[in-house]
């Protein structure tokens, strides 16, 4: 189920399902959205502070529900990531989302909501730069800015070495729906009703600030759960600052290669998707072709005309 595309003059909602955004950064991000021709509406509780959360679980769910229910709002952007998004997954009215399919956009801790919404509704969502975290930066890479164009122009996307240097980890071609996001959040779905289904799919993985030993633990868990073996192919996005503070450690590349070479599925690394600049957006839930031989990824458009 694809949401409708955006057009200039549309109103978009901004919510904080995880942490509280910095006001200055959010205002900069809002200004960027206005510059591309969009009107904005902020969630009622977006600046609330409850420990590391933007308000209580009930308040954050209320903001999400209100944006899906509001007929004026044509897309929903997350202000930032952080922690605690998974706490609201079981409180969400997925029938409301089914009846009001809209663009839903974010990444990092928002990964849990991507997986939950797709599992319960089939709605295509978007792994993309967030309003305060990315569009609120002092300098925004042009490719990060241009990622938003896919919401206005529903054309297939193509990522290749033109955007960033890529590495073929395992040679081959894979076809299937694109799914995934942040490694920690993907792993946290295991054993829940929102557990990721990777069978026949292209699995996207990115991470930030986790040492190789933690990456090893999570990849091992995914492997033992059959999630790597079941995938048609694997995309390795950005692993930002995933370095060891101990000299007695494997390097990140050694850990990734251990698991990727063992499952022997077509794998491409180096995509600028995740906690990086540029941060390229991709729709999740649509079909994609991963060609690690030619070092390119082709992704079906995520919106309807």
First to last CA, the chain: 13
Question: Is residue 249 pLDDT above 90, yes or no?
Answer: no
Are 236 and 244 a contacting pair, CB within 8 Å? no
The string of pLDDT tens digits covering residues 12-54 is 999 999 999 999 999 999 999 999 999 999 999 999 999 999 9
**In the numeric block, which tokens belong to residue 64?**
């999400």
In terms of residue numbers, what domain contains 94?
11-145
Which of 145, 177, 202 lies at the terminal end of a domain, its last residue?
145
Tokens of 139: 């300098």
The per-residue pLDDT for 245 is 83
In a domain, 1, yes or no: no
What's 137's domain CATH number? Answer: 3.40.50.10740
Domain termination residue (choose one: 117, 145, 173): 145
Q: Which has the higher per-residue pLDDT, 205 or 249?
A: 205
228 and 274 assigned to the same domain: yes
Task: Tell me which residues are annotated as active site.
Answer: 108, 206, 275
What secondary structure, in 3-state letters, does the chain show? Answer: CCCECCCCCCEEEEECCCCCCCHHHHHHHHHHHHHCCCEEEECCCCCCCECCECCCHHHHHHHHHHHHHCCCEEEEEECCCCCCHHHHHHHCCHHHHHHCCCEEEECHHHHHHHHHHHHHHCCCEEECCCCCCCCCCCCCCHHHHHHHHHHCCCCCEEECCCCCCCEEEECCEEEEEEEEEEHHHHHHCCCCCCCCCCCCCEEEEEEECCCHHHHHHHHHHHHHCCHHHHCCEEEEEEEECCCCCCCCCCCHHHHHHHHHHHHCCCEEECCCCCCCCCCCCEEECCEEEEECCCCEEEECCCCEC
My answer on whether 231 and 115 are in the same domain is no
Task: Count CB-CB contacts under 10 A for residue 287.
Answer: 15
Same domain, 48 and 84: yes
pTM flag (> 0.85): yes
Are 284 and 175 members of one domain?
Answer: yes
Q: Residue 246 above 90 pLDDT?
A: no
Residue-wise pLDDT tens digits, 51-67:
999 999 999 999 999 99
pLDDT category of residue 247 using cuts at 50, 70 and 90: confident
| Predicted local distance difference test score (pLDDT) of residue 81 | 98
Q: For 252-266, how does the pLDDT look when each residue is reduced to its tens digit (9 = 90+)?
A: 999 999 999 999 999
User: Phi then psi for 157, rounded to 5 degrees?
Assistant: -105, 145
Query: What is the total count of domains within the chain?
Result: 2
Confidence class of residue 233 from pLDDT cuts 50, 70 and 90? very high
Do 166 and 263 share a domain, yes or no?
yes
State percent of the chain over pLDDT 90: 98
* Model pLDDT for residues 102-132, shown as the tens digit of each residue: 999 999 999 999 999 999 999 999 999 999 9
* 123 and 44 assigned to the same domain: yes
Tally of CB atoms within 10 A around 1: 12
Preceding omega of 278 cis (within 30 degrees of 0): yes
pLDDT in tens, 134-186: 999 999 999 999 999 999 999 999 999 999 999 999 999 999 999 999 999 99
**CATH no. for residue 263?**
3.50.30.60
User: CA 31 to CA 28: how far, in whole Å?
Assistant: 5
Does 111 lie in the same domain as 23?
A: yes
Residue 3 included in any domain: no
What are the structure tokens assigned to 268, written together? 């491409």
- Which of 145, 177, 204 terminates a domain? The answer is 145
**In a shared domain, residues 207 and 293:** yes
213: CB partners within 8 A, 6+ apart: 244, 249, 250
| Strands 125-127 and 103-106, sheet pairing | parallel
From the list 123, 19, 18, 108, the residue with the least C-alpha distance to 68 is: 123
> 128 and 177, same structural domain?
no
- Would residue 304 count as lying in a domain? no
């Amino acid at each position: 189920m694809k949401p409708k595309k955006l057009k200039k003059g549309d109103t978009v909602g901004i919510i904080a399902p995880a942490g509280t955004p910095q006001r200055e950064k959010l205002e900069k991000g809002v200004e960027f959205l206005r510059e591309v021709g969009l009107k904005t509406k902020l969630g009622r509780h977006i600046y609330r502070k409850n420990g590391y959360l933007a308000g209580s679980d009930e308040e954050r769910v209320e903001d999400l529900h209100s944006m899906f229910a509001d007929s004026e709002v044509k897309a929903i952007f997350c202000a930032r990531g952080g922690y605690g998004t998974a706490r609201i997954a079981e409180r969400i009215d997925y029938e409301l989302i089914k009846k009001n399919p809209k663009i839903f956009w974010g990444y990092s801790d928002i990964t849990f909501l991507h997986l939950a919404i797709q599992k319960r509704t089939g709605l295509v969502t978007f792994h993309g730069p967030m309003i305060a975290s990315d569009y609120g930066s002092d300098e925004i890479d042009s490719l990060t800015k241009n990622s938003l164009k896919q919401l206005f122009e529903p054309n297939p996307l193509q990522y290749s070495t033109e955007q960033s240097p890529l590495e073929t980890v395992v040679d081959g071609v894979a076809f299937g729906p694109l799914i995934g996001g942040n490694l920690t959040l993907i792993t946290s779905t295991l054993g829940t009703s929102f557990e990721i289904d990777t069978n026949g799919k292209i699995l996207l993985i990115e991470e930030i600030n986790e040492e190789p030993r933690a990456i090893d633990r999570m990849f091992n868990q995914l492997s033992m759960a059959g999630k790597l073996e079941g995938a048609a192919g694997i995309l390795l996005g950005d692993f930002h600052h995933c370095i060891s503070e101990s000299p007695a450690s494997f390097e990140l590349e050694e850990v990734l290669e251990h698991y990727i070479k063992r499952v022997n599925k077509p794998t491409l690394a180096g995509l600028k998707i995740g906690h990086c600049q540029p941060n390229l957006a991709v729709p999740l839930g649509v079909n994609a072709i991963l060609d690690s031989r030619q070092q390119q990824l082709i992704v079906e458009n995520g919106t309807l005309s």
